[in-house]
Amino acid sequence: MVSRFNALVEREKVMLQPPTLSIYELSMSVRVSWQAHSLSTAGTNGSNKVMSRRQFLADGTETDACSGSIAKHHHAVLLAEYLMASGIPLCPACQEHDGCRAAALIERPEYKDLSVEQILQGCGLCDAHGFLVPAKNANKQQGTEARHRRTKHSLVEFSFALGLPERWRETMHLFTRIGDSKEEGQMLMKMPARSGDYALVVRYRSVGIGVDIDKWRVAIANEQQRRVRHRAILSTLRDTLLSPDGAMTATMLPHLTGLAGVIVVRKDVGRAPMYSALKEDYIARLVAMKCDTCLVYPFETVDAFNAIMEDLIATSAPCLPASYCPQQQVVEEK
């Protein structure tokens, strides 16, 4: 796998120009418009009616919502493909799209004693989307050994997409469906299709690529390897917004009719500010925070968003943590 990565890097060297921008953290505050979708639902509650997801806002308004977990799940699925295409290794669990990631492997003898650093080196998806192996006490009766907690928080975080009050509507549709058995015959199902303008926030902590961010130890210092993972994450974020994915897309693929917002890049240590598109002036407020270390890229169309992302993919690289000192880490490891 390593040699495949090296071969791909060799091939890409012509394309991989030296980075002109280092990114510590990136945020996206966007307003996205979807028509006739059912990207996120709250199940049936035992009835024949699929319920939409709803969320109260601070002023008591109830609005339409799409869960961030469904966006994160679909980001992880596509990211696995981008990583594999770039020659980045995936652990056996991530190769099979097991959402538990490294935690699914921990009972295997060869994974039992793996450190967080070894997990990150061996899997680009565990590195980007995180995992949790809970601690366990030894149990003499069951003959099981004690286990240390090993964890990494996700580097990519998604908010709920929240419908702008007064800018969303729902239509109920009646569908017929063949039941699970012959006796059930034909079933009637009520399913909602929603249309609206949604506020969505995404945060990507690129400094954490190849880093155990619990202990702030660098597991992957190789600049090329970190940059290839970073490019895969950015490419997937671009696709996530340009081609919506979620529930019910087989028959309710959303019409994407608008994408506007702001991408903020923090070049050095610090957070990239976010401000929700629930507020009408969100673009102006974010643009006003522009400074030497905080770059602000507003956009009003899908193609303008695509052009900014393409530029970031081609020219940026992830920062290393400020605490990283190669000699010190080598001494500690000896």
Token pair for residue 321?
């943590």
Q: Which is nearer to Zn ion, 91 or 312 (CB)?
A: 91
Binding mask 124-163 for Zn ion (x = CB under 5 A): -xx-------------------------------------
Question: How far apart, in whole angstroms, are the C-alpha atoms of residue 81 and residue 267?
Answer: 28
The span of 43-51, 94-102, 169-177, 184-192 binding Zn ion (CB under 5 A) equals 94-102
94 binds Zn ion (CB under 5 A): yes
Q: What angle do CA 147, 217, 135 make, to 5 degrees?
A: 15
With CB under 5 A as the rule, give the number of residues binding Zn ion: 6
The minimum distance between CB 85 and Zn ion, in angstroms, equals 16
Q: Are strands 186-204 and 54-56 parallel, antiparallel or unpaired?
A: unpaired
Calculate the alpha carbon distances from 129 to 4, 81, 125 in Å. 23, 14, 6
To the nearest whole angstrom, how small is the minimum distance from the Cβ of residue 212 to Zn ion? Answer: 15
Figure out which of the listed residues 84, 88, 104, 123 binds Zn ion, where binding follows CB under 5 A: 123
Where does this chain touch Zn ion (CB under 5 A) — which range of 95-103, 211-219, 274-282, 303-311? 95-103
Q: Residue 79: CB partners within 8 Å, gap ≥ 6?
A: 124, 125, 128, 129, 232, 233, 236
Taking the complex as a whole, how short is the minimal distance between the CB of residue 126 and Zn ion, in angstroms?
Answer: 3
Q: Contact, 78 vs 102, CB < 8 A?
A: no
Where does this chain touch Zn ion (CB under 5 A) — which range of 51-59, 84-92, 132-140, 295-303?
A: 84-92
Is 92 or 321 the residue whose CB approaches Zn ion more closely? 92
Backbone φ and ψ for 91, nearest 5 degrees, come out as -70, 165
Give the closest residue to 209 by CA, choosing from 272, 151, 156, 274. Answer: 156
Q: Which positions ≥6 away from 124 have C-beta within 8 Å? A: 79, 83, 88, 89, 90, 229, 232
Stretch 98-117: interaction string toward Zn ion, x if CB under 5 A? ---x----------------
Nearer to Zn ion, 79 or 259 (CB): 79
Which residue lies nearer to Zn ion by CB, 126 or 283? 126
Contact 38, 192 (CB under 8 A): yes
- Among 123-131, 242-250, 271-279, 305-313, the segment contacting Zn ion (CB under 5 A): 123-131
Nearer to Zn ion, 53 or 101 (CB): 101
Going by the DSSP 8-state scheme, the letter that residue 13 receives in this structure is T
Options 61-69, 119-127, 199-207, 289-297: segment touching Zn ion (CB under 5 A) = 119-127
94 vs 263, beta carbon nearer Zn ion: 94
Residue 91 is a binding residue for Zn ion (CB under 5 A): yes
Give the nearer residue to Zn ion in terms of CB position, either 104 or 199.
104
| Alpha helices by DSSP H, the chain | 2-12, 68-85, 92-95, 116-122, 124-129, 223-242, 249-252, 282-287, 302-315, 326-333
Is the CB of residue 152 less than 8 Å from the CB of residue 212? Answer: yes
Residues that bind Zn ion (CB under 5 A): 91, 94, 101, 123, 125-126
